[in-house]
Amino acid sequence: MPGEWNRVAMITRDEKELPGWIGPALGKEGIVLTCHNCRNEKELLALAGNAEVLWITGANPVLRAETLPKLPGCRAIFRSGSGVDDLPVEAASTRGIPVCNSPESIAEAVAEHAVSLLLALIRRIPADDRAVRSGTWSSSPDGRNWHISHRTLGLVGFGRIARHMIKMLSGFEMKTLCHDPYAPDDLLRGHGVESVSLDELLQRSDYVSLHCPLTQATRHLIGEAQLRRMKPNALLINTARGGVIDQSALCRALADGRIGGAALDVTDPEPPGIDSPLLRLENVIVTPHVAAFSADFAINFWNGAVAALVDICRGDYRSHCVNFDRLTLQA
């Protein structure tokens, strides 16, 4: 039977860009899907004027706070994947519109990438590879400043990605700290994680991995003052959003040797300019925002999207909702 809502508009892709099975799969649930890669507000209103759920993949080029009043039928906004920093979350909240995502569809792959970046930094794999290719064969302990087993890992944010990361690193018997004001204490205890303030996490951790969303509250969460609290040899991993770090402050800390290194899948801006000081630092690994991608990406991404859309259309959106605590529920 159709759910509470059954009109979904995909506003960032044409129908031919979606796997052919998605329309029929949604149709079996009583959901009518329309698609167009909207490039301006006029196209968006023409496609989605009567839609109840707006579906977005990738960047959001057209949906703005000032557009929402022109979409009186909109009951939910859904972005496949995790990031919602370019969506009008606050404006949607005041109108009682849930903003939803499907981070479970990419969580495992992003965690794999975060773990890979951490191991690559600790074991100096990119630096050694570059040295060998340039003709230098230096088989010595010099510069081996890190070890992973029995060290302390600090997680900023405790969503699905961070929890996958703990599982993947479990064999290294690390001490794990976490700062997440929204994570229930019993969830943290169940994973053997110690809940601490951000300052304490930065002071005690050998390795810090960022897993929080980019919001007004978390923009430049890691800045000059926070970097100064970290251990001199600490390593910083970011697979969240580039804006969570003050990149200029990070470059200064790395250049001055105030922390040991950083590995970033996200930067601010993206991509960094070719003359960015970030790219001139030897103690940095940068990958081009590819953490979510793997051989299983497509099947996980689209299956996760369809499952989430079915839940949302049935009114069961709470587990997918990023603004549930801010919603002003409509009468």
CATH number of 237's domain: 3.40.50.720
> Tokens representing 28?
């079996």
Q: Say what the pTM is.
A: 0.89
Residue 289 annotated to the active site = yes
Q: Catalytic residue among 144, 270, 280, 318, which?
A: 270
Whether 17 and 144 map to the same domain: the answer is: no
Whether 159 and 266 map to the same domain: the answer is: yes
Q: Which pLDDT score, from 0 to 100, does residue 111 have?
A: 98
Full residue range of the structural domain in which residue 310 is found: 7-105+296-325
Whether 201 and 75 map to the same domain: the answer is: no
Whether 86 and 141 map to the same domain: the answer is: no
Buried/exposed code over 11-20 (b: 16+ C-beta within 10 A; e: otherwise): bbbeeeebee
Residue 79 annotated to the active site = no
Whether 22 and 132 map to the same domain: the answer is: no
Q: Catalytic residue among 241, 252, 280, 318, which?
A: 241
Buried/exposed code over 164-191 (b: 16+ C-beta within 10 A; e: otherwise): bbbebbeeeebebbbbbeebeeeebeeb
Whether 31 and 173 map to the same domain: the answer is: no
Per-residue model confidence as pLDDT tens for the chain (331 residues)? 345 899 999 999 999 999 999 999 999 999 999 999 999 999 999 999 999 999 999 888 899 999 999 999 999 999 999 889 899 999 999 999 999 999 999 999 999 999 999 999 999 999 999 999 999 998 888 888 999 999 999 999 999 999 999 999 999 999 999 999 989 999 999 999 999 999 999 999 999 999 999 988 999 999 999 999 999 999 999 999 999 999 999 999 999 999 999 999 999 999 999 999 999 999 999 999 999 999 999 999 999 999 999 999 999 998 899 998 888 544 3
Whether 134 and 193 map to the same domain: the answer is: yes
Residue 241 annotated to the active site = yes
In a domain, 146, yes or no: yes
Task: Give the E-state strand segments of 20-158 in sequence order.
Answer: 32-35, 53-56, 76-79, 99-101, 152-156
> Tokens representing 75?
């009951």
* Cβ(68)–Cβ(97) below 8 Å: yes
In a domain, 331, yes or no: no
Whether 114 and 100 map to the same domain: the answer is: no
Number of domains in the chain: 2
